[in-house]
């Protein structure tokens, strides 16, 4: 009997052990199913750091870290605001949609982190730097002109350069203190047509990122052969001034633009992104090896779905998150997952005026949602997601409209309007580029629960809107929105909390919480 019991226990232990091992998951592509375009990456010791593009959102140039290339969290931003022009502040009818700052480059040199980027909005090139990437604020250097898609290079001889351009790539030497172009320094075209290895009729040829390995220089660019897909082209040279030779390095699923990074145990990976409809441009990690001094990207030329890397630990917790708006002493007013649409007016929002709530106050008159300031945003994510919020509308004024948005050029809104002394829950659909009120429900209580759901499965790109009066029973409202990634905005759809006035500024609303989920209730 004792032997039988022992055998049973042993079999049980083995069964449990097998099941645990069988449930171990690997990392998967995309590594972040959300809009994290134009990645640039560097490894320092056992930690990877990545910068990305967020254009007209502020703070800007998010800096993320990871220990395993799969699980990322935002740790800082390179800047709080890029400038104070009308375009950046949504004033006098101007905006910076699709502009702001574009592709960045993150580097580590002699104990200091550097991030370079550029802006056609300000016509400047920016270099941010810090010793402590997680604790110290970034310091700014800026100068004209704006060098497109530049990559920052600290060469072995102590000189500093940028490589910049589209197709025709130019090597520009900077002053030693990085404050501008060095007079009399190197300033020459090093590649006449960076897209040429992928064909005579290829477009693009930008997104430069330079690396040094094996005693050579390797320059990554994105190209787009006519009738084909986005493609990775790599050039190599023994000297920065050339001569450069290039070849196609990767073509699969349109996964392109990025660079390469190695792991502490000697493995190599390419980091790239994929255009994936209205959710935005989503990052991929692709295994890489070396053959004859060239990087060879992919597994049999493909970007694998599964990776020999640790599994994701959850619902993108360091990129997107719930917020109860409760702040402990010493905590920042807003977690790093939040960004404002354009520069905020800091006098008109607060998480302290009413403890445990985000207060948005109107300060001027606007006629349309996309011109309103102080819309607070987070990324949507795939393959499906929902965002919900509760809003206290007690202190709205006549003409106010506040609620939850899905922000892009063709946007959708669910919120509360105050018109003619009455309040209504409404849904607005701007799929035709003109906002149309699709539905309204009378509201006779002070709180409204609002929800928006996104279905990105198989690139359906459809969203649905809901309301609730008790937070338990949700009812659909309005029409579904066929989401579209539009170039004038050049970003994936964002959840947004908004409040703007069409008649009488000074009203305010209080958001008690914002919640996200990777489940939706309605699917086609």
Kindly state the average pLDDT of the residues 72-83. Answer: 97
Q: What is the pLDDT of residues 319-332, one digit of tens each?
A: 999 999 999 999 99
**Per the structure, how many domains does the chain have?**
2
The span from the CA of 298 to the CA of 304, in Å, is 7
Confidence category of residue 433, pLDDT binned at 50, 70, 90? confident
Would you state the pLDDT for residue 6? 34
Domain final residue, candidates 295, 310, 325:
310
Judge if 394 and 470 occupy the same domain: yes
Judge if 306 and 362 occupy the same domain: no
Judge if 178 and 109 occupy the same domain: yes
Would you state the pLDDT for residue 149? 98
Confidence category of residue 21, pLDDT binned at 50, 70, 90? very low
Judge if 296 and 365 occupy the same domain: no
Domain final residue, candidates 310, 327, 347:
310
Flag whether 523 is in a domain: no
Instruction: Report yes or no: 481 and 493 within 8 Å, Cβ to Cβ.
Output: no
Containing 124, the helix (H) or strand (E) segment is strand 124-130
Flag whether 133 is in a domain: yes
Q: What is the pLDDT of residues 249-268, one digit of tens each?
A: 999 999 999 999 999 999 99
Mean pLDDT, the chain, integer: 94
Judge if 212 and 103 occupy the same domain: yes
Secondary structure in 3-state letters for 48-113: EEEECCCECEECEEEEEEECCCCCCEEEEEEECCCCCCHHHHCCCCCCCCCCCECCCEEEEECCEE
Judge if 362 and 266 occupy the same domain: no
Would you state the pLDDT for residue 8? 33
Judge if 152 and 285 occupy the same domain: yes
Flag whether 130 is in a domain: yes
Instruction: Report yes or no: 465 and 507 within 8 Å, Cβ to Cβ.
Output: no
CATH of the domain at 390: 2.60.120.200
Instruction: Report yes or no: 51 and 42 within 8 Å, Cβ to Cβ.
Output: no
Judge if 305 and 344 occupy the same domain: no
Kindly state the average pLDDT of the residues 163-176. Answer: 98
Judge if 191 and 306 occupy the same domain: yes
Would you state the pLDDT for residue 125? 98
Flag whether 14 is in a domain: no
Q: Which residue's structure tokens are 């320059």? A: 219
Judge if 61 and 167 occupy the same domain: yes
Flag whether 65 is in a domain: yes
CATH of the domain at 123: 2.115.10.20
pLDDT above 60 for 42 = yes
Flag whether 418 is in a domain: yes
How many other CB atoms are there within 10 angstroms of residue 65's CB atom?
Answer: 18
Q: How far is CA 54 from the centre of its chain?
A: 6
Kindly state the average pLDDT of the residues 135-161. Answer: 97
Confidence category of residue 5, pLDDT binned at 50, 70, 90? very low
Number of H helices, E strands in the chain: 2, 38
Would you state the pLDDT for residue 314? 84
Flag whether 327 is in a domain: no
pLDDT above 80 for 11 = no
Q: What is the pLDDT of residues 180-237, one digit of tens each?
A: 999 999 999 999 999 999 999 999 999 999 999 999 999 999 999 999 999 999 999 9
Containing 387, the helix (H) or strand (E) segment is strand 384-392
Judge if 49 and 87 occupy the same domain: yes
Of 134, 28, 495, 72, the C-alpha closest to 316 is 72
Instruction: Report yes or no: 180 and 135 within 8 Å, Cβ to Cβ.
Output: no
Would you state the pLDDT for residue 17? 30
The span from the CA of 154 to the CA of 466, in Å, is 52
The whole domain housing 495 covers 339-517
The one-character DSSP state at 12 is H
């Amino acid at each position: 009997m004792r032997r039988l019991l022992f055998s049973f226990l042993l079999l049980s232990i083995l069964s449990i052990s097998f099941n645990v091992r069988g449930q171990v998951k690997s990392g998967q592509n995309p590594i972040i199913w959300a809009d994290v375009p134009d990645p640039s990456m560097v490894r320092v010791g056992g930690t990877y750091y990545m910068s990305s593009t967020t254009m007209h959102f502020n703070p800007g140039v998010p800096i993320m870290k990871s220990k395993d290339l799969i699980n990322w969290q935002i740790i800082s931003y390179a800047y709080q605001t890029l400038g104070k022009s009308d375009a950046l502040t949504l004033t006098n009818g101007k905006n910076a949609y699709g502009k702001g700052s574009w592709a960045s480059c993150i580097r580590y040199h002699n104990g200091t982190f550097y991030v370079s980027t550029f802006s056609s909005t300000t016509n400047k090139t920016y270099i941010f730097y810090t010793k402590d990437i997680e604790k110290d604020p970034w310091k700014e250097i800026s100068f004209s002109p704006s060098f497109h898609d530049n990559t920052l290079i600290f060469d072995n001889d102590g000189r500093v350069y940028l490589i910049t351009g589209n197709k025709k790539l130019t090597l520009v030497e900077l002053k030693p203190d990085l404050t501008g172009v060095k007079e009399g320094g190197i300033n020459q075209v090093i590649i006449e047509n960076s897209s040429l290895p992928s064909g005579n009729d290829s477009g693009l040829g930008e997104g430069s990122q330079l690396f040094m390995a094996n005693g050579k220089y390797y320059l990554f660019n994105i190209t787009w052969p006519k009738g084909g897909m986005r493609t990775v082209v790599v050039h190599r040279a023994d000297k920065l001034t050339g001569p450069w030779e290039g070849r196609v390095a990767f073509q699969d699923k349109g996964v392109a633009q990025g660079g390469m990074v190695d792991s502490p145990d000697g493995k190599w990976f390419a980091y790239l992104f994929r255009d994936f409809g209205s959710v935005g441009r989503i990052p991929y990690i692709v295994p890489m090896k070396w053959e004859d001094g060239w990087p060879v990207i992919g597994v049999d030329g493909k970007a694998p779905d599964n990776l020999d890397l640790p599994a994701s630990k959850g619902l993108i917790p360091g990129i997107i998150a719930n917020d109860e708006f409760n702040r402990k002493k010493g905590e920042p007013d807003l977690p790093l997952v939040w960004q404002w649409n354009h520069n905020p007016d800091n006098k008109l929002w607060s998480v302290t005026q009413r403890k445990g709530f985000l207060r948005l106050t109107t300060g001027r008159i606007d006629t349309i949602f996309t011109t309103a300031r102080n819309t607070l945003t987070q990324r949507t994510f795939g393959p499906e997601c929902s965002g919900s919020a509760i809003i206290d509308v007690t202190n709205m004024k006549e003409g106010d409209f506040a609620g939850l948005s899905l922000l892009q050029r063709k946007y959708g809104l669910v919120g509360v309007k105050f018109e003619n002394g009455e309040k209504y829950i409404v849904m607005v659909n701007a799929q035709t580029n003109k906002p149309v009120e699709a539905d309204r429900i009378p509201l006779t209580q002070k709180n409204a629960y609002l929800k928006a759901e996104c279905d990105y499965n198989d690139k359906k790109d459809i969203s649905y809107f809901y309301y609730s009066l008790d937070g338990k029973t949700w009812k659909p409202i309005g029409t579904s929105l066929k989401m579209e990634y539009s170039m004038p905005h050049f970003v994936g759809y964002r959840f947004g909390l908004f409040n703007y006035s069409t008649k009488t500024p000074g009203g305010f609303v209080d958001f008690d919480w914002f919640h996200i989920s990777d489940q939706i209730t309605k699917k086609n």
